[in-house]
Amino acid sequence: MKLQTRAPRTTAPILIPTPPRASVPRRLRTQDALIITCWTSVALAVTLYLSSGGAATVTDIPSAFSALGIVTGLVGTNLILIMLILAARIPLIDRTVGQDVAIAFHRQLGKPALYLILGHAVLLTVGYALTDGSNVVAETLSLFNTPDLPLAYLGLGLLLAVVVSSVVAVQRHLSYEVWHVIHLLSYAAVLVAVPHQLSAGAVLAEGTVQRIYWIALYVLAFGAIGIYRFVLPSVSSLRHGLRVTAVTTIAPGVVSISLSGRHLARFTGAGGQYAVWRFWTGATWWHAHPLSFSAAPNTATLRITVRDLGAGSRSLAGVRPGTRVSFEGPYGIFTDRVRSSPYLAVMAAGIGITPVRALLEHSPLHPGEATILLRGSDQNQTYLWDEMGALAHRSGSTIYSMMGHRPRGLDTWMSAQALSSGVTLTSVFPHLRQSDLYVCGPQTWTDAVVRDARHAGLRPQQIHVERFDW
């Protein structure tokens, strides 16, 4: 049996009950509020049309087409603005659901938004053609001669490019950089559609409340992007002036990068969080890397650890001490702050160890409170395990390691050997039901762990996962 005890189990765990954490119910309530706001805004988009008396204009089939066309346009644009807000890395959203969940939702909205906007164009063209008794082609030509409409068509084309490139990029046919540049076009796509919304439609006509609300939505979305993605990151990058102090290879293809800078006492990162890093050398400045801290940020040093997952992260190994570093963040809720239960169960596989290590270092733990399982397929994946052992020892936590490949054809997170010897989540973590489970590792592995954890009776708010696939 490969399941080894790395540090002696504390014999009599004296558990001082953790004080109830008020932030968790509040976080869930805020989460609900965000969801409600999101869907209500969609209803509000429809209401813009209804309140302008739109429903009364529907008298026959052509006018029904046109009405539906207007509503799809309003709802589609509303969804796109929600997508922008989700991608803006707003602290409230990051604290409440985590930026990874926000981005997952952002992705889900992409296709529906595109279909609605396409529907907007098609339905209105058909509606007008029916009203005028002309055909769709002639109608499209005459629409092109309407003020602001050519720009709107341009926006539609850009939007198509953005969504198609995202779908293709997900299928790994497109490099991250190309995808990213095309994605920036989405800002242009949304903006060039504005003039026709304000001039061609009756719903958002001058002097209406509807128009004011709509413009406010745009200001909110673009303001959030501007402030949280550009202004604040630039300000804190300039304030801290980070530079690389050391680059250490700690395993084949894995490097730890230490950083230092000014005013690090005011750096707000917590263990388990990540930031999006940019290393200002000729070969790497155009690539931003989302990387977790591999040690809890302190007043002297920040440390990140990276494994070569692609050409971009491979080139980081060649970064020299002294290189300037800018960053956006820190982000993420893989932290001590979202704990909800008295015990702590931690699982890490491969490079997933980085946020777990920083989390553990940053958590005030009672002896016996935490149990840790480290997972690797072979000896090359044991980097940072020594540091984990030391941290576990210091906090009186139990630590296990499980080495070996997963059995072929079986959907499990365990090694073949552990599986055959009857290891389960509950045998590793005796207090699992009263634990917060923190999991970080490859996606399929994480999915298998989460499935088993749900099966063992853990509630969703007890499970904390950090994703790595973006």
Q: Which of 84, 100, 82 is nearest to 40 (CA)?
A: 82
Nearest distance in Å: CB 253, other proteins? 40
What is the distance between the alpha carbons of residues 384 and 357, in angstroms, rounded to a whole number? 8
Is there binding between residue 49 and other proteins (CB under 8 A)?
yes
Out of 132, 177, 386, 411, the only residue in the binding site for other proteins (CB under 8 A) is 132
At closest approach, how far in Å is the CB of 197 from other proteins? 13
Residue among 248, 245, 247 at smallest CA distance from 383: 248
CB of 114 to other proteins, least distance (A): 22
Minimum CB–partner distance for residue 136 and other proteins (Å)? 14
We find the least distance from the C-beta atom of residue 139 to other proteins, in angstroms, to be 9
Residues 6+ apart with CB under 8 A from 37: none
Sketch the per residue contact string, 431 through 460, with other proteins: x for CB under 8 A, - otherwise.
-----------------------------x
Question: Which CB sits closer to other proteins, 34 or 169?
Answer: 34
Among 4, 5, 108, 134, binds other proteins (CB under 8 A): 134
260 binds other proteins (CB under 8 A): no
> For other proteins, which residue of 1, 36, 137, 390 counts as binding (CB under 8 A)?
36
Q: How many residues bind other proteins (CB under 8 A)?
A: 46
CA–CA separation, 360 vs 339, rounded Å? 13
Position of tokens 């999915």?
447
Based on the number of CB atoms within 10 Å of its own CB, is 238 exposed (0-12), middle (13-18) or buried (19 or more)? exposed
Which of 10, 31, 298, 417: binder of other proteins (CB under 8 A)? Answer: 31
Among 18, 131, 281, 315, binds other proteins (CB under 8 A): 131
State yes or no: residue 46 binds other proteins (CB under 8 A). Answer: yes
Is 30 a binder of other proteins (CB under 8 A)? no
177 lies in the site for other proteins, by CB under 8 A:
no
What residues contact 40, with CB distance under 8 A and at least 6 apart? none
Binds other proteins by CB under 8 A, chosen from 8, 39, 111, 234:
39
CA distance 59 to 62: 8
CB 97, min distance to other proteins, A = 11
143 binds other proteins (CB under 8 A): yes
What gap in Å lies between CA 142 and CA 124, rounded to an integer? Answer: 13
Q: Is 11 in the site for other proteins (CB under 8 A)?
A: no
Confirm or reject binding of residue 146 to other proteins (CB under 8 A).
yes
Say if residues 408 and 430 touch (Cβ distance below 8 Å).
no
Could you tell me the smallest distance in angstroms from the CB atom of residue 407 to other proteins? Answer: 34
Instruction: Decide: is 147 part of the binding site for other proteins (CB under 8 A).
Output: yes
Selected binder of other proteins within 17, 19, 207, 422 (CB under 8 A):
207
Name which of 32 and 411 has its Cβ closer to other proteins.
32
With contacts defined by CB under 8 A, name the span among 25-33, 151-159, 220-228, 343-351 that binds other proteins: 25-33
CB of 84 to other proteins, least distance (A): 20
Among 4, 5, 56, 427, binds other proteins (CB under 8 A): 56
User: By CB under 8 A, is residue 208 in contact with other proteins?
Assistant: yes
Query: Judged by CB under 8 A, which of 23, 51, 260, 426 binds other proteins?
Result: 51
- Does position 194 interact with other proteins (CB under 8 A)? The reply is no
Positions that interact with other proteins (CB under 8 A) = 28-29, 31-32, 35-36, 38-40, 42-44, 46-57, 59, 62-63, 66, 128, 131-132, 134, 142-143, 145-147, 199, 202-203, 205-208, 460-461
